[in-house]
Amino acid sequence: MPFSSLGLVPSLVRAAADSGYTKPTAIQSAAIPVILRGGDVIGAAQTGSGKTAAFALPLLQLLLDGSSGARVTRTLILVPTRELAAQVGTAVETFARNALAPLKVATLFGGVSINPQMMSLRGGADIVVATPGRLLDLIEHNALKLSDVKLLVLDEADRLLDLGFSDEIGRILALLPKRRQSLFFSATFPTEVQALADAMLREPVRIEIEAAPASAPDILQRAIEVDPLRRTMLLKHLLLEHKWPRVLVFVATKYAAEHVADKLQRNGFHAGALHGEFSQGTRTQVLAEFKAGMLQVLVCTDLAARGIDIVQLPAVVNYDLPRSAVDYTHRIGRTGRAGESGVAVSFVSADTEAHFRLIEKRQNALIPREQIAGFEPVLTAAPVSAAASVTDTVNGGVKGKRKSKKDKLREAAAKVGGE
């Protein structure tokens, strides 16, 4: 099925081709016609499936069709992280430029001076891509207003509606017109955010693209048993054995990111650390060096688990297990993108075995345990009291149904539904 059959104008069909899309992906084929008709959408599809183009192409056409000459913000795209904001902003600008669309895109995020972003908003912007906190800061500085927004996109909606974002989202929603088109896109939609989504959307079309065997990412998942204190040695062994040109290593804390990266550097590896406490300039530089091949290993927290598109990344390693099955999906989804194959390695110790079994259960997966000669574990799991939960593991545990989180989401849903 060609893009032209989805209702896109010829200039946007060419823009898709210029951006490397020879034919629509499943999420694009399903979502683009609905968006062009003005419908609300909940779009769930695996990472690397082309979700950004699925909403970017039709929203550009809607903007061109409804252009009145005045430059006001008619489309708002909310994203959870600075890196994803920059990535989505660049993608939308590229589509618009290739389509020769005279539209201005403003990309707004924290961690950098607010003044240049205020300057960029002078004269208005047709499309704003923003993280919630910085958007609210700019609104408070009277740099922009949301009263003319006709289309709202929540990218990585599950993370945006998670604890810590729901209050900001509620404040932003209160500033938007009640009559608008709203789109939710994400790889996963946990049940705890569904009530809020239902309250925000008007008779949404739900699009769920299952990963069919032929289209699922080609990712080999491995689980290697190892004692915690020997993980760095095992990581060095794997790097030397497989000679991966680039690998993402996920850890649980900013301290671990810097500590493991430092150990690798002292052993001759070109390694760097990435976490949320770095300045935006440092984060941008480290990512650029990794993408350019100047760094072989990037040791990072879950900051890099979502939205970051790194071309031809052959491997990811879960040095620390993720807190949830959702985070596991996003972590391993950094490899095996755009038709490439990849490998996702998880280090499993005696104390995290039960936690990893929960991740397997929620993934509907059974990953054989391996042991590497010279790194066989010798420790056994500590006794667990009857009152203890598997979610109390050293890595934080799979996220359960925390009362405070659900209460926040219910309150936000009720507030939005009552507007």
- Give the pLDDT of residue 396: 45
User: Strand order in 247-250's β-sheet?
Assistant: 271-274, 297-300, 247-250, 315-318, 341-348, 218-225, 369-370
What does the alpha-carbon distance between residue 274 and residue 190 come to, in Å, rounded to a whole number?
A: 27
Q: How large is the C-alpha radius of gyration of the chain?
A: 22
Q: Which residues pair with 183 in a beta bridge?
A: 41, 153
Helix (H, G, I), strand (E, B), or coil: what is residue 130?
strand
CA dihedral 125, 130, 134, 137 (to 10 degrees): 40
What does the alpha-carbon distance between residue 351 and residue 382 come to, in Å, rounded to a whole number?
A: 7
- Give the pLDDT of residue 379: 87
Task: Please report which helix (H) or strand (E) contains residue 341, including its range.
Answer: strand 341-348
Q: Is the pLDDT of residue 301 over 80?
A: yes
With CA atoms as reference, report the closest residue to 132 among 177, 106, 165: 165
Percent of the chain with pLDDT over 70: 84
Average pLDDT over residues 144-156: 94
Out of 184-193, 253-262, 325-334, pick the least confident.
184-193
Out of 139-153, 315-329, 337-351, 377-391, pick the least confident.
377-391
Instruction: Give the best-scoring range by mean pLDDT among 67-71, 192-196, 207-211, 331-335.
Output: 331-335
Mean pLDDT of the chain: 85
Instruction: Give the best-scoring range by mean pLDDT among 202-211, 220-229, 284-293.
Output: 220-229
pLDDT digits (tens, 9 = 90+) for 262-285: 999 999 999 999 988 888 788 888
Average pLDDT over residues 128-154: 95
What does the alpha-carbon distance between residue 215 and residue 130 come to, in Å, rounded to a whole number?
A: 31
Out of 135-139, 246-250, 411-415, pick the least confident.
411-415
pTM here is: 0.67
419 — pLDDT class (breaks 50, 70, 90) = very low
